[in-house]
Amino acid sequence: MNATSAEQASAPVTEDALRTVLLAGERPSRPGPVLTSLTFGWRALLKIKHVPEQLVDVTMFPIMFTLMFTYLFGGALAGSTQEYLQFLLPGILVQANVMITMNTGITLNTDIQKGVFDRFRSLPVWRPSPLVGALLGDLVRYSIGSTIVITLGLVLGFRQEGGAVGVVLSVVLLLVFSFCLSWLWTMLSLILRTPNSVAGVSMTVMFPLTFVSNIFVDPKTMPGWLQAVIEVNPITHLATVVRGLMHGSVPAGEIGWVLVSSVLLVAVFGPITMVLYRNKK
């Protein structure tokens, strides 16, 4: 093992010290759900601090996608890369956030494999708090991803007619939706056995979910049946809203749709996740 042998040798467990800690045990009162959820959120931040390379999906991927789509397809799809960027950037912001949510499931599944999940389940805390805490930690990741995409967009020449308020509102809405969508991944991570299979299944859901939408192109040229599918995809509505907010209009009806689908996602996948969590083998 990596530890130095000197350290091991100088590490006798002293009986007196052991007695002291066992007897000094106080019994603090049980903390509430908010505090325990925030504490689990703190753990997620500590993990980012210790394993910064896990931020690759919130930094490199959004940059890569924005650059690739703008310069590969921009000219062909919209006549010029500048024109396409105006259309694409809000969409890519949605895609980046939705992609980042997948990480939630993979992280949770890794916790299950490693056994630390059992430790949390054995604690007398509000039961959803490890999951809620992880999702709160993920909000930081979404914020980083959004900041990177928006900054890159501005550098490339994106003009947000909606001003700062439109941008901030868009990001807030994205955080809400991403938090709610994550319950789908927490559910999957409790059903599937390995982090790899969680990643695989998530990708299979994620690609159609983001590509069969209006993120990359206007669906007008597509066959009717496909347009119908796109119309019911909540990602389409989310992209429409973000696009609207960034370009200076407030699509109130569409915002309503996004909020309703967010609530539905939690209402369906939240309870299923908790039942699976409680009965996990």
Partner 1 sequence: MGELAIETRGLKKSFGKTHAVAGVDLAVSAGGVYGVLGPNGAGKTTAIRMLATLLRPDAGEAQVLGYDVVRDARAVRSRVGLTGQFASVDEDLTGVENLLLLARLRGYSRRRGRERAADLLDAFGLAEAADRQVKKYSGGMRRRIDIAASLVVTPELIFLDEPTTGLDPRNRNQVWEIVRGMVAEGATVLLTTQYLDEADQLADRIAVIDHGKVIAEGSSGELKASVGAGSLHVRLRAPEQRAEAERVLAGVLEVPAEPSADPAALSARISDPERVARSLAELSRSGIDVTEFALGQPSLDEVFLALTGHDAEETPEEDAA
Measuring CA to CA, how many Å separate 96 from each of 22, 24, 58, 210, 243? 49, 49, 7, 10, 14
**According to CB under 8 A, which residues from 95 to 124 bind partner 1?**
111, 114-116, 118-119, 121-124
Least distance (Å) from partner 1 to the CB of residue 275?
A: 12
User: How many helices (H) and strands (E) are present in the chain, helices listed first?
Assistant: 13, 0
Number of residues that bind partner 1 (CB under 8 A): 51
Which CB atom, from 220 or from 281, has the smaller least distance to partner 1? 281
Kindly state the DSSP code that residue 229 receives in the 8-state scheme.
H
Give yes or no for residue 247 binding partner 1 (CB under 8 A): no
Q: Are 166 and 245 in contact (CB under 8 A)?
A: yes
x-marked contacts with partner 1 along 51-90 as a string, rule CB under 8 A: x---------------------------------------
Q: Which of 34, 47, 80, 200 binds partner 1 (CB under 8 A)?
A: 47
223 binds partner 1 (CB under 8 A): no
User: CA triplet 80, 83, 85: central angle to 5 degrees?
Assistant: 105
| Cα 53 from Cα 88, distance rounded (Å) | 27
Contact 134, 40 (CB under 8 A): yes
Q: Note whether 262 and 176 are within 8 A (CB).
A: yes
Of 33-41, 162-170, 214-222, 268-276: span binding partner 1 (CB under 8 A): 33-41
Q: Does 10 bind partner 1 (CB under 8 A)?
A: yes
Centroid of chain to Cα 31:
26
Please state the closest distance from residue 230 (CB atom) to partner 1, in A.
40
Q: Which residues bind partner 1 (CB under 8 A)?
A: 1-3, 7-8, 10-15, 17-31, 35-36, 39-40, 42-43, 46-47, 50-51, 111, 114-116, 118-119, 121-125, 278-281
